[in-house]
C-alpha cells in the first residue's frame, strides 16, 4: 500500500517538474566559449567571432560585405555569386580581426531563415562544411529573433523590437514562450519601399540612406510638408499604395531638387509615424518599458529621433544598438547561437536545410 502511495506521489511530482528537470538536464554550463557567426539572409555576407565569458558577450569582430547595385535590385542568382565570391575573404578577415584561429572556434552559428533562398543556401553550405571539417557543432538561428536578442549586450531585459529592414517590417515582443509578431507590413518591407522610391528618383541601391540625407537637408531649411496617405490597419502597416502614388508623381511632375528633398522629408515623417504608432500600441498592450530598434532602416536619423521622443513621452527606455548591429550582421547570429547552444539546442546536418519562410513565432524559445 505504502509503495503504491509513494509511486503515485513520485509520478505526480515527476509529471509536474518534468519540463524543469528536462530543461535543466539539457542545459550546458559554459564558462568561456568562442562562436563564429555567419549571416546570409539577403544582400550581406557577414562573419563574426563572439566570445562568451562568465555570462557576458564580447563581439571580437563583425565583418560584412554587401551586394550593391546601381539598377535592378537584388537578383537572387547574383546574390549567391556575390556570397560565394566573398565568403572566404570575409571569414578570414573576421578571424584576423578577432585574433583567433579557426581551430579555436567551438561553435558555428548561421542564419537558417527567413530570407532569400539563393543567399541562405550559401551560408548554410559554408556552416555545414566548417562544422564537418572542424568537427564542431553548428546551430541554425532565426534572423528576426537574432535582431531581438542582440539587445542583451546593451542591457535590455524584455524589450519590444521595432524591426525595420529591407524585406521585414515587424513589431515583435516575447510573450508566453515565443517571440510574437504584434504588427507587421501587409505588403513590402519599409526598406524595400524606401529603396524602390529611391530608385524612382534615380538614387541607386540602397536608396534609404540617401533619402535620409535629403530629408535632413530639407528639415534644415524648414521643409514644406506634404500630407501623404497614412496606412495603418489595426496593428499592421502598408506601403505599396503610397509607393504607387509617389511613382506616379515622379513620372508625371517635373520635380525640382528642393521639391524632391521636401518629398523625402514628408515620406519619412509619414512612414515613421505609422511604424511608431503600432510600436507604441504594442508597448502599451504588453506593458513593456523598453524599445529596441533593429534593421537597416533603424540607422535612419529621423527614426532614431522619433523613437527616442516616443519613449521619453511614455517613460520607457529606448535602446538603439550601434549601426553595425542594426543592419544585417553576423554578430547577432553568433550571440543568439551561443544562447541557444547553452540552452541545449544543436542543429544536426540532416536538420540544417534552409527555412526561407520561417516565421518569428515558429520558434520555440527555450533559452530565456
Residues in contact with ligand AMP, total (CB under 6 A)?
18
Q: CA 262 to CA 92: how far, in whole Å? A: 44
Select the residue interacting with Mg ion from 98, 165, 231, 307 (CB under 5 A). 165
Applying CB under 5 A, does 212 fall inside the site for Mg ion? no
Nearer to ligand AMP, 128 or 199 (CB): 199
φ, ψ at 84 (rounded to 5°): -65, -40
Nearer to Mg ion, 290 or 328 (CB): 328
Residues in contact with Mg ion, total (CB under 5 A)?
2
Nearer to ligand AMP, 111 or 300 (CB): 300
CB 110 within 8 A of CB 37: yes
Q: CA 35 to CA 333: how far, in whole Å? A: 10
The piece of 87-95, 171-179, 205-213, 222-230 that touches ligand AMP (CB under 6 A) is: 205-213
Applying CB under 6 A, does 206 fall inside the site for ligand AMP? yes
Residues in the chain: 368
φ, ψ at 105 (rounded to 5°): -70, 135
- The H or E element containing residue 290 is strand 290-294
Q: Which does 80 bind (CB under 5 to 8 A by kind): Mg ion, ligand AMP, none?
A: none
Query: Can you say whether the dihedral through the CA atoms of 151, 327, 199, 254 is positive or negative?
Result: positive
What angle do the packed helices 301-313 and 257-286 form, to 10 degrees?
Answer: 40
List residues bridging with 39 in a β-sheet: 46
List the interface residues with Mg ion, window 310-349 (CB under 5 A).
328
* Distance spanning both ends of the chain, measured CA to CA: 42
Nearer to ligand AMP, 105 or 119 (CB): 119
Among 342, 282, 286, which Cα is nearest to 310's? 282
Least CB distance to ligand AMP at residue 42 (A): 6
CB 363 within 8 A of CB 145: yes
Least CB distance to ligand AMP at residue 164 (A): 8
Select the residue interacting with ligand AMP from 299, 316, 330, 363 (CB under 6 A). 299
Among 127, 105, 62, which Cα is nearest to 328's? 62
Q: Which does 35 bind (CB under 5 to 8 A by kind): ligand AMP, Mg ion, none?
A: none
Nearer to ligand AMP, 113 or 166 (CB): 166
Least CB distance to ligand AMP at residue 77 (A): 19
Largest distance between two CA atoms of the chain: 93
Select the residue interacting with ligand AMP from 65, 195, 290, 358 (CB under 6 A). 195
Least CB distance to ligand AMP at residue 242 (A): 15
Applying CB under 6 A, does 296 fall inside the site for ligand AMP? yes
The piece of 126-134, 293-301, 339-347, 357-365 that touches ligand AMP (CB under 6 A) is: 293-301
The piece of 53-61, 67-75, 204-212, 232-240 that touches ligand AMP (CB under 6 A) is: 204-212
Q: CA 368 to CA 365: how far, in whole Å? A: 7
What angle do the packed helices 190-200 and 257-286 form, to 10 degrees?
Answer: 170
List residues bridging with 62 in a β-sheet: 48
Applying CB under 6 A, does 191 fall inside the site for ligand AMP? yes
Applying CB under 5 A, does 111 fall inside the site for Mg ion? no
List the interface residues with ligand AMP, window 3-42 (CB under 6 A).
42
CB 261 within 8 A of CB 216: no
Nearer to ligand AMP, 51 or 328 (CB): 328
The residue nearest ligand AMP at its CB is 296
Q: CA 44 to CA 64: how far, in whole Å? A: 6
Q: Exposure of 242 by Cβ count < 10 A (0-12 exposed, 13-18 middle, 19+ buried)?
A: buried
List the interface residues with ligand AMP, window 323-362 (CB under 6 A).
327-328
Binding site for ligand AMP (CB under 6 A): 42, 165-166, 191, 194-195, 206-209, 212, 295-297, 299-300, 327-328
Binding stretches for Mg ion (CB under 5 A): 165, 328
Amino acid at each position: 500500500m505504502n509503495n503504491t502511495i509513494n509511486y503515485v506521489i513520485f509520478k505526480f511530482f515527476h509529471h509536474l517538474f518534468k519540463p524543469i528537470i528536462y530543461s535543466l538536464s539539457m542545459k550546458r554550463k559554459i564558462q568561456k566559449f568562442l562562436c563564429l557567426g555567419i549571416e546570409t539572409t539577403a544582400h550581406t555576407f557577414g562573419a563574426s567571432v563572439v566570445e562568451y565569458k562568465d555570462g557576458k558577450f564580447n563581439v571580437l569582430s563583425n565583418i560584412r560585405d554587401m551586394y550593391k547595385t546601381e539598377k535592378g535590385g537584388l537578383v537572387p542568382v547574383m546574390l549567391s555569386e556575390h556570397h560565394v565570391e566573398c565568403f572566404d575573404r570575409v571569414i578570414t578577415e573576421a578571424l584576423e580581426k578577432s585574433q583567433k584561429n579557426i581551430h579555436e572556434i567551438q561553435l558555428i552559428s548561421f542564419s537558417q531563415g527567413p530570407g532569400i533562398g539563393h543567399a541562405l543556401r550559401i551560408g548554410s553550405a559554408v556552416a555545414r562544411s566548417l562544422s564537418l571539417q572542424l568537427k564542431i557543432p553548428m546551430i541554425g538561428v532565426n534572423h528576426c529573433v537574432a535582431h531581438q536578442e542582440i539587445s542583451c549586450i546593451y542591457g535590455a531585459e524584455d524589450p519590444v523590437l521595432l524591426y525595420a529592414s529591407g524585406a521585414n517590417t515587424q513589431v515583435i515582443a516575447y510573450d508566453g514562450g515565443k517571440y510574437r509578431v504584434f504588427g507587421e507590413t501587409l505588403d513590402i518591407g519599409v526598406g524595400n519601399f524606401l529603396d524602390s522610391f529611391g530608385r524612382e528618383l534615380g538614387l541607386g541601391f540602397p536608396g534609404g540612406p540617401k533619402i535620409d540625407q535629403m530629408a535632413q537637408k530639407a528639415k534644415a531649411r524648414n521643409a514644406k510638408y506634404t500630407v501623404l496617405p497614412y496606412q495603418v490597419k489595426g496593428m499592421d502597416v502598408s506601403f505599396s499604395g503610397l509607393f504607387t502614388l509617389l511613382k506616379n508623381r515622379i513620372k508625371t511632375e517635373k520635380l525640382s531638387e528642393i521639391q524632391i528633398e521636401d518629398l523625402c522629408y514628408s515620406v519619412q515623417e509619414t512612414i515613421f509615424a505609422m511604424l511608431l504608432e503600432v510600436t507604441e500600441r504594442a508597448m502599451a498592450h504588453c506593458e513593456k518599458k523598453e524599445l529596441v530598434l533593429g534593421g537597416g532602416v533603424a540607422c535612419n536619423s529621423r527614426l532614431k529621433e522619433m523613437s527616442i521622443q516616443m519613449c521619453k513621452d511614455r517613460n520607457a527606455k529606448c535602446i538603439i544598438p550601434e549601426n553595425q548591429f542594426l543592419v544585417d550582421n553576423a554578430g547577432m547570429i553568433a550571440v543568439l547561437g551561443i544562447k541557444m547552444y547553452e540552452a541545449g539546442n544543436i542543429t544536426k546536418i540532416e536538420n540544417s536545410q534552409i527555412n526561407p519562410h520561417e516565421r518569428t513565432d515558429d520558434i520555440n524559445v527555450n533559452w530565456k
